[in-house]
Amino acid sequence: MITLPLPPSANRYWRAIGRGRVLVSEEGRAFKKMASLAYIAQRRQYHDGDVKVKGYVYFENRRRDLDNVLKPLLDALADGVAYRNDRQVRHIDIVARIDRDNPRVEIEITPLN
C-alpha cells in the first residue's frame, strides 16, 4: 500500500476558464505534485498496461463524497507517475473510512490480469 495526501474534491481540482475550457486549478496542481512525489518516494512501480486500484480513503468526517475524490486521485497518478493515462484503470475497489486526525489515501495499484 502507498500513502498519499487526501485530494481536493473534483469541484476544486478543476476550474473553468470561459467558453467551456477547464484546467487543473492551482490547488489541483499542488495536490498532483504532492501525490507524484509521495508515490515516487515510496518507490512504487510504473504500469504500462491496465491496472486495478484498491484501498481506502480516510476522511476527517462524513461530509465528503467518495466519488468526488476518485477522479482527482487517479488523474494525479497519470502522466508517467504510476501509469500513462487514467484510462488504464479498469477496476476500482475503494472504501471510505474516517480518521479525524490523519486524513489520507492508502492504495495499491496492481496489474490487471
pLDDT tens-digit series, residues 55-111? 999 999 999 999 999 999 999 999 888 999 999 999 999 999 999 999 999 999 999
Count of domains forming the chain: 1
pLDDT in tens, 26-42: 999 999 999 999 998 98
Domain that holds residue 36: 2-111
- For residue 11, the domain's CATH number is 3.30.1330.70
Gyration radius of the chain's alpha carbons? 14
What is the torsion angle, in degrees rounded to the nearest 10, for the CA atoms of residue 50, residue 46, residue 28 and residue 90?
A: 10
Helix/strand/coil for 86: helix
